[in-house]
Amino acid sequence: MVLKSGFKPILANLLIIQYWRNLMKYFNCLMALFVLTLGCEKKMEFDQPLNDDKNPVVLMQTTSGDIYIELFEKDAPKTVENFIGLAEGTKEFTDPETKETVTRPLYDDLKFHRVIKNFMMQGGCPLGTGTGDPGYKFEDEINAAALGLDTLKVTQNQSRDMQAYIAKKYNIKSQEDWTAQATEIQEEMQTIGEMSLLKLYTGVGYNYDSTLQSHKAKRGVIAMANSGPNTNGSQFFINQIDTPWLDGKHTVFGQVVKGMTVVDEICNSPVNKQTQPDPEIKIVSVKVAQKSGH
Confidence of residue 39 (pLDDT cuts 50, 70, 90): very low
Amino acid at site 187? E
pLDDT at 129 over 90: yes
122 close to 233: Cβ distance less than 8 angstroms: no
Task: Write phi, then psi, for 213 (nearest 5 degrees).
Answer: -110, 95
Confidence of residue 130 (pLDDT cuts 50, 70, 90): very high
pLDDT at 1 over 50: no
Q: Measure the CA dihedral 246/75/104/289, to 10°.
A: 110
Mean per-residue pLDDT of the chain = 90
Q: What is the pLDDT of residues 185-210, one digit of tens each?
A: 888 888 888 899 999 999 999 999 99
Task: Using alpha carbons only, give the angle 234, 240, 243 rounded to the nearest 5 degrees.
Answer: 85
Please tell me which residue, 157 or 65, carries the higher pLDDT value.
65
Round to whole Å and give the CA distance between 83 and 98. 22
What does the pLDDT average to over 147-163? 91
238 close to 252: Cβ distance less than 8 angstroms: no
Question: Distance of alpha carbon 182 from its chain centroid, rounded?
Answer: 43
pLDDT at 26 over 80: no
Question: Which residue in 257, 227, 225 sits closest to 115, CA to CA?
Answer: 225
pLDDT at 35 over 50: no
Q: What is the pLDDT of residues 51-89, one digit of tens each?
A: 999 999 999 999 999 999 999 999 999 999 999 999 999
* Residue percentage of the chain with pLDDT more than 90: 77
Confidence of residue 38 (pLDDT cuts 50, 70, 90): very low
202 close to 208: Cβ distance less than 8 angstroms: yes
* Residue percentage of the chain with pLDDT more than 70: 85
Helix (H, G, I), strand (E, B) or coil at 283: strand
154 close to 196: Cβ distance less than 8 angstroms: yes
Question: Distance of alpha carbon 247 from its chain centroid, rounded?
Answer: 16
pLDDT at 174 over 50: yes
Task: Write phi, then psi, for 223 (nearest 5 degrees).
Answer: -140, 160
Round to whole Å and give the CA distance between 14 and 4. 16
Q: What is the pTM of this model?
A: 0.83
End-to-end CA distance of the chain: 63
pLDDT at 236: 98
pLDDT at 276: 97
Round to whole Å and give the CA distance between 138 and 233. 7
Q: What is the pLDDT of residues 255-274, one digit of tens each?
A: 999 999 999 999 999 999 99
